[in-house]
Amino acid sequence: MSTINFATREINFKIVYYGPGLSGKTTNLKFVYSRIPEDRKGEMVSLATEDERTLFFDFLPVDLGEVKGFKTRFHLYTVPGQVFYNASRKLILRGVDGIVFVADSAPNRLRANAESMRNLRENLAEYELSLEEIPMVLQINKRDLPDALPVDMVRAVIDPEQKYPVFEAVAIQGKGVFEPLREVSRMVLGRLAPQK
Amino acid sequence: MIEPSIALFGESFEEASRVLEQLIEDTGAQYALLVDRKGFVLAHKEALWAPRPPALDSLATLVAGNAAATKALAELLGEPRFSELVHQGERQGLYVEEVNDLTLLVIIFDQNAPVGRVKLFGKRAAGMLDRITERAKVESSAARKRLGLDTEYRESASALLDDLFGDL
């Protein structure tokens, strides 16, 4: 649930980029950081190893602006994708409002995509949450790979029931980075202020 | 289950701010913050003489991440929690005290504030903040209602989303 600070009139949302190792979660955040105007973003914090693998999380605060007198802000996080780092990955999910699942189009990562989705469900369950309660969109990244799998094939392993919005992306070039972020933000806002 | 939120406003926000202010006075610390465990700042105060604080968003996020990792470590060792966390550098120190399951107290101090004093008054302040934040705990639907967040809010926010993410 979003954190609402009545006194300072702020509404904060937490959006988490989830997915297997090296699927491009940090790349997404770096691109967002590079394009958001200075006055609308805070510092980007990266807790990474020397070889630039995310160790704990990346963090980027983005100011949406003032809505009905409330400063509305999104806190974007990535989790470490490597299987090994599950203990820290789980911690980042606390208080999550929305998820961008970043899947890898490489044929040899198909299984890693499926495992990461299963791991997401398990970790959410530890907070007594399920994917039915948290808005989520899928980003199928690395569409520029020469041997990229068809989108339907990647989707079949992470979203067989086709419940979530899907976006194709080449995050390193900034293609398909903002669309999923905008969609998940919209879904999160929709939950805060449901239609009557 | 969606976690309850802390909605500090009106009297409870004033009270929490007074506790932080008094804490700065009693310890000689530079900054005192009440943050939630998700990494958001709920209230903060700084000493009049203190230099501009670092980015509070980053600070709260890192403290919450650190506290979460420390708690996980405690559980691995069979402890319910490690209640306090102190980092001391050459010139500045950081003290984190658990207020309760939802919030943390963060105190940043320099060499003028003795760490013993920071701990003593920090624990006392955490007790007071616990009572204040317990009263300010609300269920998410109640918070929404109180805010009057409605279709209009959603539509305005969506328009801003298009402005910010649409033209980049």
Residue A54 placed within a domain = yes
Q: Is residue A4 part of a domain?
A: no
Q: Is residue A7 part of a domain?
A: no
The amino acid present at B159, given as its one-letter code, is A
Q: Do B165 and A178 touch (CB under 8 A)?
A: yes
Confidence bin at B1 (pLDDT 50/70/90): very low
B140 pLDDT more than 70: no
With respect to residue A146, please indicate whether it lies within any of the assigned structural domains.
yes
Asked if A35 reaches chain B (Cβ–Cβ under 8 Å), the answer is yes
The mean pLDDT value for B72-93 works out to 89
Whether A48 is in a domain gets the answer: yes
Separation of alpha carbons B35 and A168, rounded Å: 37
Per the structure, the count of domains in chain B is 1
pLDDT confidence of residue A60: 95
Q: Suggest the residue from B38, B138, B150 to mutate for an interface test with chain A (most A CBs closer than 10 A).
A: B38
Contact between chains at A2 and B5 (C-beta distance less than 8 A): yes
Q: Report the CATH number at residue A106.
A: 3.40.50.300
Supply the range of the domain harboring residue B138. 5-166
Answer whether B41's CB lies under 8 Å from B108's CB: no
pLDDT band at B148 (very low <50, low <70, confident <90, very high): low
Segment B4-32 shows an average pLDDT of: 88
What's the CATH number where B11 sits? Answer: 3.30.450.30
- What is the pLDDT tens value at each position of chain A, 196 positions in all? 577 776 677 888 999 999 999 999 999 999 999 999 999 999 999 988 888 888 889 999 999 988 888 889 999 999 999 988 999 899 999 999 999 999 999 999 999 999 999 999 999 999 999 999 999 999 999 999 999 999 999 999 999 999 999 999 999 999 999 999 999 999 998 887 665 5
Confidence of residue B84 (pLDDT cuts 50, 70, 90): confident
Give the closest residue to B44 by CA, choosing from B20, B10, B60.
B20
Least confident range from A31-35, A173-177, B30-34, B163-167: namely: B163-167
DSSP output for chain B: -PPPEE---HHHHHHHHHHHHHHHHHH--SEEEEEETTS-EEEEEE-TTPPPPPPHHHHHHHHHHHHHHHHHHHHHTT-S---EEEEE-SSEEEEEEE-SSSEEEEEEEETTS-HHHHHHHHHHHHHHHHHHHHHTEE-HHHHHHHHT--HHHHHHHHHHHHHHHH--
State phi, psi for A92 to the nearest 5 degrees: -70, -25
Cβ contacts (< 8 Å) between B146 and chain A: which residues?
A: 6
| Full residue range of the structural domain in which residue A179 is found | 12-191
Beta-sheet pairing, A98-104 with A70-78: unpaired
Indicate if the pLDDT at residue B3 is higher than 60: no
The per-residue pLDDT for A55 is 87
A31 belongs to a structural domain: yes
Per the CB < 8 Å rule, is B164 touching A59?
no
Chain B contact present for A182, CB below 8 A: yes
Instruction: Report residue B19's pLDDT band, with 50, 70 and 90 as the boundaries.
Output: very high
Q: Do A196 and B150 touch (CB under 8 A)?
A: yes
pTM for the structure as a whole: 0.88
Distance between CA B74 and CA A97 in Å, rounded?
A: 27
Judge whether A44 lies within some domain. yes
Whether residue B167 has pLDDT greater than 70: no
Contact B149, B141 (CB under 8 A): no
Q: Tell me the two tokens of residue A132.
A: 């039915």
Task: Band the pLDDT of B162: cuts 50, 70, 90.
Answer: confident
Which helix (H) or strand (E) segment is A13 a member of?
Answer: strand A10-18
Please state, in angstroms and rounded to a whole number, the distance separating the CA atoms of residues B82 and B72. 10
* A-interface mutation test, from B41, B140, B154, most A Cβ less than 10 A away: B154
**Number of domain units in chain A:** 1
- Residue A2 domain flag: no
